[in-house]
Structure 1
């Protein structure tokens, strides 16, 4: 067994997942390599823990399988994650709820959520003293809002939901939204003098921006959504899960274990995050964020994803889902999700 962590820009219990797929398959018929993709930020600590602690290998061996090779790619933006999934470049892709739904719709249900991963308040921050509320974006000049993927990322979709509710126009601020990697957007806000003066950020970038004293918060996704909601999910092709039921079960079980491990071991999880990202953050700050459920909570239970589903269906981007279970794999259907 070999593992690799490659930087390229380009759930439920195991038995429950196997039963949900309706097949147990045979080890010899399954893939020998699992390709996964993450993006940037603290949301992806579970992927680091899964790699560091060999959890997919552990659960594979527990089911009598040979441990697969694990490859982890780093891809920026939900749109690019979706492209990689559709092209078969990766098997599992971690992306926001918005991109998950758009992939489900575009693929006519061939791709679905394998597991929900995290809740986090996305924070729309700005270094522009003239922007105190979202209304102020109507009159800004030489001002762009950075998101990981314009029109596709969960940040972009959340902003569209706000403008649709406030001005009955989901595209009201789309002309201001640009695609930019989180680290680059952070640098733009902290340096100043750039066209990008706002950043709809995730941790740790939102924390670093606000801690600098140069940046202030305009609004959060928890404000817009009316409370805590799922932000990050991991999608997979239904065909992959059907063809590789034990591997699929090992992967989802590995992440469920990772969530519990992070909650029980925030100090060790912080060290792993710093190791895998080469972050210069103070470890004490990373530990504090991981311990604060109001900032981030790793959870496999879908929360308020149908708000996104109903919105995207309402503007014609996806078919209308009858339930959140429509766009999640069967191993999730026993949760009290939404």
Structure 2
């Protein structure tokens, strides 16, 4: 009897020891991030070139983490990859991010913002001298946006239309919009041919177009939103974040370091941009873009609630966050976001 009791106690002790000694579930050994085209994505390029995620992962005790960078030309394919688990971090403008947040909210695949990638105005550039405001567009005009109805440019155009014509006519200019890659729309604008008379575009394309004789800005995102707004947001799934807290923190730390590097080393950052993109702009022109006082590279989410309020009013998103902090990880809640 005593032997049996001893064996039982020993068995329970061994079980408890094994359970207690069992290691926590390991974090993934590879992290996969999305990148798109344009100077807005410069922090990601710096992170890639300087291997900052790898550096911060090691500092948090994660050795030999592999970082994969995936180039995307469209947000829908990127978001599909994120939800399917084929991508860990996506990057998009506030409207596409908010759409994903609302669509996946309260599901296993729900998304959560990590931080803002940058803030810089997008410009609606027109080559039609008769167009001084959005009220001046006619059926003879065509306006290029990166995605009809869903892109940041398309939503800002709707916001501008609501301000000009009344909220019930927010989509009155949608019929004039067409979607195409940014480089293609710039080429068409510079050619002066066809029906494309306006291009709602981002740096560096907006800077190039506005240097052309007769080209002018009709509106920009800051004017419409009511202040600086994040051009892009870096986000992940709550599923990945909870399973990989250290790796998520490493990505956030790397982004913070990259943004500070750009702010403090504009010349070197410009060289990084040109080396990775193979762009032909002179270094001085890229430095000039980075030196624009309206251009910011920091973690602070800006303008998210202005977009969320409008998109909820017109029914694009069914749920509205109570505050911008509901959209982002706890680590950035101390920032002066809006």
TM-score when scaled to structure 2?
A: 0.88
Shift in Å at residue 77 of structure 1?
A: 3.5
- Higher relative contact order (CA closer than 8 Å, sequence separation 6+): 1
Alignment of 1:313-324 (within 5 A): 313-318=312-317, 319-324=319-324
**Match among 89, 94, 102 for residue 99 of structure 2:** 102
Q: What's 1:223 paired with?
A: 223
Residue 18 of structure 2: aligned partner:
none
**Aligned pair in 2 of structure 1 residues 47, 302: CA closer, same or farther (>3 Å)?**
same
Give the drift of 1:176.
Answer: 1.3
Deviates more, 1:46-55 or 1:147-156: 147-156
* Pairwise CA distance, 1:27: 8.7
Aligned-residue offset at 1:223: 1.4
1:304 positional shift: 2.3
Report the equivalent of 1:63. 60
Shift of 1:154: 1.0
Alpha-carbon distance in 1 for matches of 2:120, 2:74: 17
SS in 1 for 2:253: helix
Give runs of aligned pairs for residues 160-239 of structure 1, distance below 5 A: 160-167=158-165, 168=167, 169-239=169-239
Contact 2:144–2:196 (CA under 8 A) maintained in structure 1: yes
Provide, for residues 213-238 of structure 1, a one-character-per-residue CA deviation record: whole Å limited to 9, x for no partner: 25221111111122222221111101
**Aligned-partner Cα distance in 1 for 2:316–2:40:** 26
137, 143, 146: which one aligns with 2:144: 146
- TM-score if structure 1 supplies the norm length? 0.88
The equivalent residue for 2:268 is: 268
CA distance in 2, matches of 1:60, 1:246: 7
Counterparts of 1:215 and 1:148, CA distance in 2: 19
Query: Which residue is equivalent to 2:11?
Result: none
Kept in 2: contact 1:82–1:99 (CA 8 A): no
Partner Cα distance (1:286, 1:27) in 2: 46
Distance 1:145 1:27, change over 3 A: farther
The CA deviation at 1:83 is: 2.8
CA contact (8 A) 2:79 2:90 kept: yes
Task: Determine which structure has more spread, i.e. the larger CA radius of gyration.
Answer: 2
**Counterpart position of 2:80:** 83
* 1:43 to 2:28 alignment: no
Return 5+ residue gaps in structure 2 as ranges: 1-22
- Partners in 2 of 1:148 and 1:67 — Cα distance? 37
Residues 102 and 320 of structure 2 are in contact (CA less than 8 Å); yes or no, is this contact kept in structure 1?
no
1:192 CA drift (Å): 1.9
The alignment yields a C-alpha RMSD, in angstroms, of 1.6
Q: Which residue of 1 aligns with 2:154?
A: 156
Q: Which residue of 1 aligns with 2:12?
A: none
In structure 1, the gaps of 5 or more residues are: 1-25
Contact 2:266 2:291 in 1 (8 A): yes
Cα pair distance change 1:190/1:310, threshold 3 Å: same
Q: Deviations over 1:266-305 (max 9, x none)?
A: 00000000011111001101011112222x1111111221
CA 228–240 in structure 1, closer or farther in 2 if over 3 Å, else same = same
Higher alpha-carbon deviation: 200-209 or 186-195: 186-195
Other-structure match for 1:333 = 333
**2:50 aligned partner:** 53
TM-superposed deviation, 1:72: 1.4
* Range moving further from structure 2, 110-119 or 83-92: 83-92
Q: Distance in 1 between matches of 2:143 and 2:77?
A: 19
Alpha-carbon distance between aligned partners in 1 of 2:333 and 2:249, rounded to the nearest angstrom: 14
Number of positions where the alignment pairs a residue of Structure 1 with one of Structure 2: 310
1:256 is aligned to 256
